[in-house]
């Protein structure tokens, strides 16, 4: 009975304990995946051919690009920063094909083995082992050998860090904006990242190198026995290239796989069909189930989007261009040539690229240099969709232009200088002639207006000197000179002399002479006193010399009056005369 009670209590205890742990530990575990999915940013998907259609893509990011033009057909989170893993080796292999010598011997150093990363893929090379440089590239692209990446980096740049700097400079040159590499093989590093779009740019550049294109599309390769090991057999890790694989894709030309825990599964593939080349980049497939299926989905969809189109008609381009030749720092026109397009531009383009979205840009100089031969290309006509080059055609001259000899150019220089001198002389003559005409015109205008001013001044002077202008009259009558024998006559005395003469004789000097002597002005004409009996009514003749002298001295007064003239008309004050 006690045993049954003890067993019952033990079962009850276990039941309570199970309920306790299920409440406190099971719920957070079940909520953990939900927290992870909520922190992931929503996907950005662009289907440029059919905006309303979305493909079934299980990977976090992908892109489908035209390999020839770079036109993006489909993308999902293609600009999101992710870890590339071993697809980094596409750039390593590309630089090796561009700069390396395939006949060189590649020696593996201890540093190359030590820096390949713990658990990194390799082909088992040991320090001091030697292989050919070409075999090293095959090992990198087919078997993803990390230690060979280090050996290539040291061989080309002297050290792995120096080679990494070259890699980062290269990606900037290719137009990558969010890519940075920390090693040549892609082993995980927080500072080693890229995105799908940048990887497509790197791949487009790499496949244009024929050596790279051949190597990364090779399914298998043998490395002969080395100084340290026996012969090695290499097999491509990309299952889409292997005919025996379930993921084999008949249009695949080349590819590169990648994987580590932080990056997930990554894959870059290049395929061709009916003259159309496509590049796909798939990144961040954590499960590994979607890498190949996503690539096949993208490829199959992309090949259905193309159609044949005429981008440019050759008959629409005709141009005449001058031909110049340089001599002594100057250009001389030696002729002209007519140009035309070699043929029209036709290409397979995505169906969303219509004629109105295509831009034609001729690439030719404004002036050509001889010699020019008919039928030899002198430029190109390019057809663009946005910044993507869709196709091009040569520009051909319809005639030929020979280069001139030095003697001919010297004579042409002489003629040109003479022509310039004549033109300069003519311009100078025109300028001088215009200046002369201007000076003469100014002088004529001055003379035209100067006489009028002088006449006005003379009139003013006459007005000032006229003593006979009556008060209140603006234009007084001119004083007329008396005719001969009609004016007042001097009375002669009985002795035959005039009274005037007697006064001059008795005094020795006339009063007029005294006034001129005292004022010192001998230039003014002398005014004669009127003869006796010639004074007008109301005026009497001076009785003696003192009275005459008093009258003549009246100029010194403040009001200052003029003497009577010969007609006896009283002079007005100077102030009144000026008014």
Give which of 197, 216, 206 is closest to 283, Cα–Cα. 197
Catalytic hit among 78, 86, 157, 200: 86
Catalytic hit among 59, 78, 121, 144: 144
Please state the separation of Cα 511 from the chain's center in Å.
Answer: 100
Residue 44 half-sphere exposure toward CB, CA atoms < 13 A: 7
Q: What is the DSSP string of 262-326?
A: TTEEEEEEEEEETTEEEEEEEEEESSSSSHHHHHHHHHHHHHTTEEEEEEE-GGG-EEEEEEEEE
Place of tokens 């008060």: 471
89 counts as catalytic: yes
Residue 192 and residue 149 in contact, taking contact as beta carbons nearer than 8 Å:
no
Phi, psi of 311 (to 5 degrees): -85, -30
Using alpha carbons only, how large is the chain's radius of gyration in Å? 59
- Rounded to 10 degrees, the C-alpha dihedral 458/464/470/473 comes to 50
Could you give the C-alpha distances from 532 to 490, 499, 506, 565, in angstroms and in order?
A: 7, 7, 17, 14
Tokens standing for residue 73? 């057909």
Helix (H) or strand (E) holding 552, with range, is helix 545-552
Helix (H, G, I), strand (E, B) or coil at 79: coil
Helix axes 146-157, 160-173, angle to 10 degrees: 90
Residue 191 and residue 222 in contact, taking contact as beta carbons nearer than 8 Å:
no
Please state the separation of Cα 336 from the chain's center in Å.
Answer: 30
Phi, psi of 345 (to 5 degrees): -105, 115
Tokens standing for residue 369? 């240099």
Paired residues of 72 in beta bridges: 65
- Other beta carbons within 10 angstroms of residue 361's beta carbon come to 11
For 555, left (φ over 0), alpha (ψ -120 to 50), or beta?
alpha
d(CA 62, CA 29): 31
What is the number of residues in the chain? 579
Q: What is the DSSP string of 386-404?
A: TTEEEEEEEEEESS-BPPP
Catalytic hit among 76, 89, 237, 284: 89
Positions marked catalytic: 86, 89, 144
């Amino acid at each position: 009975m006690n045993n049954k009670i003890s067993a019952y209590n033990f079962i009850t205890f276990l039941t309570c304990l199970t309920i306790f742990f299920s409440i406190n530990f099971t719920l957070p575990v079940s909520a953990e995946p939900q927290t992870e999915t909520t922190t992931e940013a929503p996907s950005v998907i662009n289907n440029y051919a059919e905006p309303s259609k979305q493909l079934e893509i299980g990977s976090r990011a992908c892109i489908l690009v035209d390999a020839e033009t770079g036109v993006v057909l489909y993308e999902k989170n293609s600009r999101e920063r992710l870890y590339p893993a071993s697809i980094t080796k596409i750039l390593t292999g590309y630089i090796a094909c561009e700069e390396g010598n395939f006949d060189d011997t590649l020696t593996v150093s201890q540093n190359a083995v030590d820096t390949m990363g713990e658990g990194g893929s390799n082909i088992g090379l040991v320090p001091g082992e030697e292989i050919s440089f070409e075999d090293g590239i095959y090992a990198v692209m087919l078997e993803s050998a990390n230690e060979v990446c280090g050996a290539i980096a040291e061989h080309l740049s002297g050290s792995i860090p120096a080679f990494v700097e070259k890699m980062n400079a290269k990606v900037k040159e290719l137009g990558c904006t969010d890519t940075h590499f920390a090693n040549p093989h892609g082993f995980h590093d927080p500072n080693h990242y890229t995105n799908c779009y940048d990887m497509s740019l790197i791949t487009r550049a790499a496949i244009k190198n024929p050596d790279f294109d051949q190597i990364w599309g090779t399914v298998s390769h043998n490395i002969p026995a080395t100084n340290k090991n026996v012969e090695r057999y290499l097999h491509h890790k990309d299952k889409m290239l292997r005919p025996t694989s379930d993921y084999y894709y008949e249009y695949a030309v080349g590819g590169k796989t990648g994987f580590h825990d932080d990056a997930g599964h990554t894959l870059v593939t290049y395929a061709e069909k009916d003259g159309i080349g496509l590049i796909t980049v798939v990144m961040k497939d954590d499960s590994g189930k979607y890498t190949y299926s996503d690539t096949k989905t993208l490829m199959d969809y992309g090949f259905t989007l193309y159609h044949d189109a005429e981008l440019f008609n050759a008959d629409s381009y005709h141009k005449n261009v001058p031909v110049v030749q340089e001599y002594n720092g100057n250009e001389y026109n030696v002729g002209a040539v007519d140009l035309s397009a070699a043929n029209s531009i036709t290409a397979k383009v995505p169906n969303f690229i219509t004629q109105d979205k295509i831009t034609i840009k001729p690439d030719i100089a404004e002036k050509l240099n001889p010699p020019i031969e008919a039928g030899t290309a002198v430029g190109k006509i390019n057809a663009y969709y946005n910044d993507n080059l869709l196709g091009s055609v040569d520009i051909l001259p319809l005639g030929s232009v020979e280069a001139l000899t030095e003697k001919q150019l010297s004579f042409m220089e002489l003629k040109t200088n003479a022509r310039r001198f004549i033109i300069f002389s003519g311009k100078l003559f025109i300028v001088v002639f215009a200046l002369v005409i201007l000076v003469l015109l100014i002088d004529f205008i001055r003379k035209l207006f100067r006489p009028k001013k002088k006449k006005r001044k003379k009139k003013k002077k006459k007005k000032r000197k006229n003593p006979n202008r009556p008060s209140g009259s603006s234009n007084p009558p001119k004083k007329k000179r008396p005719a001969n024998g009609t004016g007042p006559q001097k009375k002669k005395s009985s002795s035959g002399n005039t009274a005037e003469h007697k006064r001059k004789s008795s005094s020795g000097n006339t009063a007029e002479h005294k006034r001129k002597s005292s004022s010192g002005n001998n230039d003014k004409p002398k005014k004669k006193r009127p003869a006796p009996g010639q004074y007008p009514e109301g005026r009497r003749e001076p009785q003696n010399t003192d009275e005459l002298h008093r009258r003549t001295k009246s100029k010194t007064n403040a009001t200052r009056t003029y003497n009577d003239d010969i007609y006896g008309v009283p002079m007005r004050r100077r102030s009144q005369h000026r008014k």
